[in-house]
A and B are shown apart, each in its own frame.
Chain A
Amino acid sequence: MNTQKEFGEPGYLDYKGRYKGLFSWIFSTDHKRIGLLYLFSILSLFAIGATLGLLMKFELIAPGKTIMGPQAYNAFFTLHGIVMIFAVVIPGLPAVFGNFLLPIMIGAKDVAFPKLNLFSWYLYVTGVVLVIISQFAGDGPPDTGWTFYAPYSFRTTGTMLPAVFGAFVLGFSSILTGLNFLVTIHRMRAPGMTWLKMPLFPWSLYATAWVQLLATPIIGITLLMVVAERTLHIGFFDPSLGGDPLLYQHLFWTYSHPAVYIMILPAMGAISEIITTFSHKTIFGYKFMVVSVLAIAFVGYFVWGHHMFTSGMSGTALYTFSLLTFLVAIPSAIKVFNWISTMHKGSIDLQTPFYWAIAFIFVFMIGGFSGLILGSLAANVHLHNTNFVVAHFHFIVFGGTGFAFFGAMHYWFPKITGKMYDKTWANIGLILFFIGFITLYGPMFYLGFKGMPRRYFDYDEVFHAGNIISTMGSWVLYSGLAIIIINLFASLKGGAKAPSDPWGGKTLEWTIPSPPPVENFTETPVVTKGPYDYKQV
């Protein structure tokens, strides 16, 4: 369709194709435009999810009913969970930054199946629409929590079917993205880019893609079974028909635990890129980083039972899952050590993305350690279904993936848009975000430890002080978030023009203009060196 473009051709943002305006986006098969489609969808949904969270926190500012009753609160945390997990965090890094950067970082012109890539986005939108429909159709919004636990999920009068089916469709979108990335990485690396010359972000996407491909079908079939159970009364999980509700939990977590690794692995990849670039030093232990990312993906598939420690599993299963859970900590720790060692004796350039990376390591470590507490059987009995768990997974999912998402946004923003952002405001936003985050979720560890259960709109007076602090944290966090987003949008208009390599990065995306031309590379790059070659510096 296009002939070879000369250097200095307009970037992908100015490209004039067959369609104009909005259609040039929603009919585009260019991986960069699809990445931005995802970015805008995900940011909008993130704003919705965050607002729901803000309102829930406001409800918890005082015991008793403040702004909503129990049923509304149930609907709020259900929608918050479905939107945040299935529509924001799982596709977050792979679909936005993976789509935009994976082909560029391995020296390809696009992903292997560009049309399928666009189709994945359409599926994503369909899934989101179904979830939205579930809020307004029928006898009230779903109130099961994002986990859809049986047998409640087919007894409740809430509108479950569109929500469950929406999650199924979102899962399918995720599978197809993973499939696309796997074939892209296997078949489209630039000449000379052997497996061990591939940067770590593509590596983490590779491991993630396998998990997306092999774990998501399990929840697909499980959700279909719930649909069948609700519509046809097939007794799969209903104890009154002989089914076992625990089996639902097994199947659900067989996907949903690996899903945590779908969220966190690309985050780790992005953090690895940021830390090397701003330390101006080769990543410490590149091969260990590669092996550990694959090991986390592999072992992470077999630890699902640690979500079910108090549900009445057999002792043998308890010990096995606990042991496997502790094993996952090893490769995760290797990564943290290697990030720290990379900074050691590096020539560190203190820029906003680097601050995000440091903040990521800090919150990720707290999240990881609290995970070990939850992974030990005895402590879990005490902490299960308390606010401690909520704090733990927000430190991992929001603190880990969320921080990495914003870190990646500030790292690749000049490449994606061709504009620099205002560093002062970016840093102010980050500081507020960080302080708000710790103030919001920190007290929840304590509250949970003291016995405050999760998913309740009300609580005992003894938990009042902690909840007030936590709610105030949510306001700080939200304002930090607003500053970050406003700053980035303002930079689209007023920002200075970005050079092709503003940070001194060594991976392939920094060798092409910002924003990249439609075909990424005017001539196919030939790779001769490892990904982080800082020897000359």
Chain B
Amino acid sequence: MENETNHIIPYRTYLYVLAGLIVATLTSVAVTQISLGTLTVAIALFIAALKSSFVLRIFMHLKYENRMFSAAVIAVTMLIAVVIIITLLDYLFR
């Protein structure tokens, strides 16, 4: 079956996720108002990553798609990370 009917996700799932995303947003705003030094960056980026994973898995249906899609998304994200790291090999040690 090529055009098989997809999994239907109930409305409330989306609303739960939305609630979670808003809570995460407010949390990251609150946390970054406290001065925690370099930890602030780490926390803010961690929360952003967490939010993205929800958007990717639920809103963008990766949870229900073929694993190939998730694998490709992870690979592309890693690629960007590696490019940043290799570029920093220059700047950190210059």
Question: A and B touching (C-beta < 8 Å)?
Answer: yes
Docked complex Cα distance between A513 and B91 (Å) = 58
A302-B89 contact, Cβ under 8 Å, with A313-B94, A314-B94: no
Name, among B90, B91, B94, the residue most crowded by chain A CB atoms within 10 Å (CB to CB): B90
Residues in B neighbouring A202, C-beta threshold 8 A: none
Asked if A173 is at the interface of the complex by the 8 Å CB criterion, the answer is no
Docked complex Cα distance between A247 and B91 (Å) = 10
What 0/1 readout, one digit per residue, does chain B (60-94) give for beta carbons within 8 Å of chain A?
A: 00000000000000001001001100110111111
Asked if A301 is at the interface of the complex by the 8 Å CB criterion, the answer is yes
A301 lies within 8 A of B94 (CB) = no
A302-B86 contact, Cβ under 8 Å, with A314-B91, A315-B93, A316-B93: yes
- Of chain A, the residue at the smallest CB distance from B2 is A187
* B1 to A: closest C-beta gap in Å: 14
Asked if A269 is at the interface of the complex by the 8 Å CB criterion, the answer is no
Docked complex Cα distance between A301 and B91 (Å) = 19
Asked if A147 is at the interface of the complex by the 8 Å CB criterion, the answer is no
Asked if A334 is at the interface of the complex by the 8 Å CB criterion, the answer is no
- Of chain A, the residue at the smallest CB distance from B89 is A317
Asked if A254 is at the interface of the complex by the 8 Å CB criterion, the answer is yes
Residues in A neighbouring B91, C-beta threshold 8 A: 314
Asked if A214 is at the interface of the complex by the 8 Å CB criterion, the answer is yes
A302 lies within 8 A of B87 (CB) = no
Residues in B neighbouring A247, C-beta threshold 8 A: 87
Which of chain A's residues 254-293 have a Cβ closer than 8 Å to chain B?
254
B89 lies within 8 A of A250 (CB) = no
Residues in A neighbouring B79, C-beta threshold 8 A: 214, 301
B90 lies within 8 A of A314 (CB) = yes
B76 lies within 8 A of A214 (CB) = yes
Asked if A368 is at the interface of the complex by the 8 Å CB criterion, the answer is no
* A174 to B: closest C-beta gap in Å: 18
* A317 to B: closest C-beta gap in Å: 4
Number of chain B residues whose Cβ lies closer than 8 Å to a Cβ of chain A: 12
B93 lies within 8 A of A317 (CB) = yes
Select one of A254, A302, A305, A314 contacting B93, CB under 8 A: A314
Docked complex Cα distance between A214 and B76 (Å) = 8
Docked complex Cα distance between A314 and B94 (Å) = 4
B90 lies within 8 A of A254 (CB) = no
Docked complex Cα distance between A305 and B91 (Å) = 13
Docked complex Cα distance between A247 and B86 (Å) = 12
Residues in A neighbouring B82, C-beta threshold 8 A: 302
* B40 to A: closest C-beta gap in Å: 24
Residues in B neighbouring A254, C-beta threshold 8 A: 83
B83 lies within 8 A of A317 (CB) = no
* B11 to A: closest C-beta gap in Å: 31
Docked complex Cα distance between A101 and B92 (Å) = 47
Docked complex Cα distance between A214 and B82 (Å) = 13
Asked if A246 is at the interface of the complex by the 8 Å CB criterion, the answer is yes
Residues in B neighbouring A312, C-beta threshold 8 A: 94
Residues in B neighbouring A301, C-beta threshold 8 A: 79
Docked complex Cα distance between A184 and B87 (Å) = 34
* A456 to B: closest C-beta gap in Å: 29
Which of chain B's residues 19-63 have a Cβ closer than 8 Å to chain A?
none
* A323 to B: closest C-beta gap in Å: 12
* B85 to A: closest C-beta gap in Å: 10
A313-B86 contact, Cβ under 8 Å, with A214-B76, A301-B79: no
Docked complex Cα distance between A305 and B93 (Å) = 15
* A212 to B: closest C-beta gap in Å: 14
B76 lies within 8 A of A250 (CB) = no
Docked complex Cα distance between A72 and B94 (Å) = 38
* B33 to A: closest C-beta gap in Å: 28
Docked complex Cα distance between A236 and B81 (Å) = 21
Asked if A320 is at the interface of the complex by the 8 Å CB criterion, the answer is yes
- Of chain A, the residue at the smallest CB distance from B79 is A214
Docked complex Cα distance between A317 and B91 (Å) = 9
Residues in A neighbouring B87, C-beta threshold 8 A: 247, 250
* A230 to B: closest C-beta gap in Å: 23
Docked complex Cα distance between A395 and B80 (Å) = 31
Docked complex Cα distance between A313 and B89 (Å) = 9
A320 lies within 8 A of B94 (CB) = no
Docked complex Cα distance between A314 and B93 (Å) = 5
Docked complex Cα distance between A314 and B76 (Å) = 26
- Of chain A, the residue at the smallest CB distance from B83 is A254
Docked complex Cα distance between A41 and B45 (Å) = 47
Docked complex Cα distance between A305 and B85 (Å) = 13
- Of chain A, the residue at the smallest CB distance from B86 is A302
Residues in A neighbouring B90, C-beta threshold 8 A: 246, 250, 305, 313-314, 316-317
A314 lies within 8 A of B89 (CB) = yes
Name, among B76, B89, B93, B94, the residue most crowded by chain A CB atoms within 10 Å (CB to CB): B89
What 0/1 readout, one digit per residue, does chain A (132-144) give for beta carbons within 8 Å of chain B?
A: 0000000000000
Docked complex Cα distance between A317 and B94 (Å) = 9
* A-B complex: 7 closest residue pairs judged by Cβ atoms: A314-B93, A317-B90, A316-B93, A314-B94, A317-B89, A313-B90, A314-B90
A-B contact pairs, 16 of them (CB 8 A): A218-B83, A246-B90, A301-B79, A302-B82, A302-B83, A302-B86, A312-B94, A313-B94, A314-B90, A315-B93, A316-B89, A316-B90, A316-B92, A317-B90, A320-B86, A320-B89
Q: Chain A: residues with CB nearer than 8 A to chain B?
A: 214, 218, 246-247, 250, 254, 301-302, 305, 312-317, 320
Additional A-B contacts beyond A302-B86, A317-B86 (17; CB < 8 A): A214-B76, A214-B79, A218-B83, A246-B90, A247-B87, A250-B87, A250-B90, A254-B83, A302-B82, A305-B86, A314-B92, A314-B93, A314-B94, A316-B92, A317-B89, A317-B93, A320-B89
